Structures are given as structure tokens and as C-alpha cells.
Amino acid sequence: MALDALAVIPLHQGPSFSKMPLRTEAWQKPGNLVKPPVPSKSKLTTIEAKRIMSVLDEAIYKVELVTLLSYAITHPEALEGMPGEGVAVAVREHEDLCQVLLGTISDLQEKDLQLQAEEEAWFQDCLAAAAQLKASLQPQMQKVRDSSRDILRLLLTDPSAARLLRLQALGRSPEAQRFIEGLEELRGFLFERLLTSPMEARDRAQFIQDITRRHRRNQEVIGALETELTARMKNRDSEVEKENFVIQELKNHLHQVLKFSESSLLRTKQEAEKQQKADSRASQARLAKLQQEILTLRSQYHNLVMENREAEQALRKVPAGGGHRGCRGTSFLLPGATDPGHHGSCHSAPCPQGSTR
């Protein structure tokens, strides 16, 4: 819209270095970098070289002063102690011009927003107002430029005021500080270039070519090493994968062995318990059988004892001289009788018939 074609330049302009490529980041030298040839001269000898360096030094000095104007506007106490009132008055007038310019820019932005929101009936009026503000913007910007030049001129004619303003370097914006550092780096490069003779320039070019070739060789070596490293890493990964597979197989086998041993142990334990129960039942059966046999033998023994007692009683009832003549009685001990040698009774059994004395 209306602001699309508007390019507002900075409020405080110094020398134009916008077309000059600058490095704003600090350059760090590698520790193993071969040092380039050092110029044989340490001071500028030609008038042209001295003029070039003086112009660049003056530009850096002016940029340092101009970049502190914004801080001086927002912090009036930074101007206290300056001799005379010229610089302070110029800074206040510059502040007023900047405020007017910022107000115009704000109104122009507001008109641009209205152009986006208003209906077609109001479009032409808003467009005319925006064009009028845009037309008044260029003169205001020129006034700000002229005011910046006037303040810079006053500071250059009053070294004490410029020195007092430069003491406020901490108030400079980071962007302005990087710009000044880039200018100082440019000064060092230009100073070294002016000190270099044509022969030294050829040596420097040869040095750069040598460094380039060395860098190319190093890159080739690095590429080969990276390729070898990649291959070795792949081999290592494959070997690790194989070892992991073997380890997993061993773990599975060990798990199966443990599972089989547990099942075998459980089965053996169950069989042992069954065998123990069977042996217990068999021993109980044998014990019952033996007890039954003992009872049977005791009964038989008791019956025999009773029979022997009856026989003894019957024999005792037989007279002592009875029996067949000529027969010698056979003596025997009855159960419960005492030994004949110990004054026991000797019973004579009848001899069988037909036997002689």
C-alpha cells in the first residue's frame, strides 16, 4: 500500500559504507595455520597512502560520534559538563525534528491501515492524505540529515565535547558497535594492503595458492579417512550385530536349559514323592502281613502249649509202674519240666510193643 514504496533511512547518517562488504564477526585463526608473509615496512611512506588512511580514520571517528546521538537524546545527563550550550541546543532541536518525523511516519502507518479497512467511498480520501504525508516526509528526513551534520560539525570543532560524548560508548547499540568493529577491521586490512609492495603481493598470492593446494590435499585426505571410517563403522556395526545375535541365541538356549532343568527337577521330585508313597504303602502292607503272621504264630504256639499241657496232664495221671513189662520207658522232658540233672522228674514213655529189654 502506501508504505510499500517508502524506505525510511536511519535518523543519524554517517558516511555511506553500505556497498562495502564487511565482516562483523570476529575472525579466529586456527592454531596450526601457517602465517602469511609479513610486510617489510611498518609505516606508510607515500602521501597517497597516508591520505587514504586519514580519510578512513576520520570516517570511523565520525561514525563513533553519530552513533552516540541517539543515546545523548534519550539520556540528557550525558551532555552535562560540555563547554557551551551549542551542542546541547543542537541535540534538543535534533530531538524535536526526530519526534516530528516519527509522528509523520506513525500517521502514515495509520493511514495505511485505514486504507486496508475502509470502504471504497473513503478510499480516495485516505489515499490523498497518505500521499500528502508521504510528500511531507522527504523534507522532514532532509532536515534530520542536516541537523545530524550540524551536530557533527559542532562536535568536530569542539574536541572536548566530542571526547566527553565518546566516553558514553557503553550506550551505543550492538548493531552500531558491530559496524564500527567492521570498519576497524577494514582499516587493518587496508593498512596492511598499503604496506605491501608488489613483490610482497606476489609472495602473498603464491602463499595463498600454496595454502589452497594444501587445503585441497587435506580435504582429499579427510575425505579418504572419512570413507575409511564409514566402512570400518559399518563393519563394526555388522560384527556387533552378529555378536548380539549370538548372545541372544545363547540367552535363549540358556533359558530353554533352565526351563528344561526346572521341569526335569519337578518331574523327578514328583516321581520321588510317588515312589515314597508307594514304598510307604508297601511297607505298611508288609507290616500288617507280618503282624498277622505273628498273631497266627502266637495262636499256633498257644495251641501247641495247650496240647502239650494236656499231654503232660494225661501222662501224669498214668501210674509209675504201669506199662508193658520188659519195656524200658523213654525219659523225656515235658514242657515246663525241670532238667533231670537238677532233681527234675523223669517220665518214661511206654516202649513200643514187641521191643525187648
For 165-199, write each residue's pLDDT tens digit: 788 778 788 898 899 899 999 988 888 888 877 78
First to last CA, the chain: 174
What is the DSSP code string of 222-278? HHHHHHHHHHHHHHHHHHHHHHHHHHHHHHHHHHHHHHHHHHHHHHHHHHHHHHHHH
pTM (global) more than 0.75: no
State the helix-helix crossing angle for 120-157 and 86-117, rounded to 10 degrees: 160
pLDDT digits (tens, 9 = 90+) for 303-343: 999 999 989 998 988 765 544 444 344 444 444 444 444 44
Residue 31 is classified by DSSP as: T
Lowest average pLDDT, out of 87-101, 208-222, 260-274, 315-329, goes to 315-329
Mean pLDDT, the chain, rounded, equals 75
What is the DSSP code string of 66-105? HTTHHHHHH-GGGGTT-SSSHHHHHHHHHHHHHHHHHHHH
pLDDT digits (tens, 9 = 90+) for 104-128: 787 777 777 666 665 554 566 667 6
Opening angle at CA 236, ends 230 and 238, nearest 5: 105
Q: Which of 233, 34, 212, 234 is nearest to 220 (CA)?
A: 212
**Mean pLDDT computed over 286-315:** 92
**Mean pLDDT computed over 33-57:** 75
Give 231 or 39, the one with higher predicted confidence.
231
Cβ 186 vs Cβ 22: under 8 Å: yes
pLDDT at site 213: 94
pLDDT at site 318: 75
In angstroms, the CA 332 to CA 318 distance is 15
Torsion angle defined by CA atoms of residues 95, 97, 99 and 100, in that order, rounded to the nearest 10 degrees: 170
State the helix-helix crossing angle for 159-166 and 47-66, rounded to 10 degrees: 60
Looking at mean pLDDT, say which of 38-47, 118-127, 167-176, 203-212 comes out highest: 203-212
**Mean pLDDT computed over 24-31:** 45
Q: Is the pLDDT of residue 353 over 60?
A: no
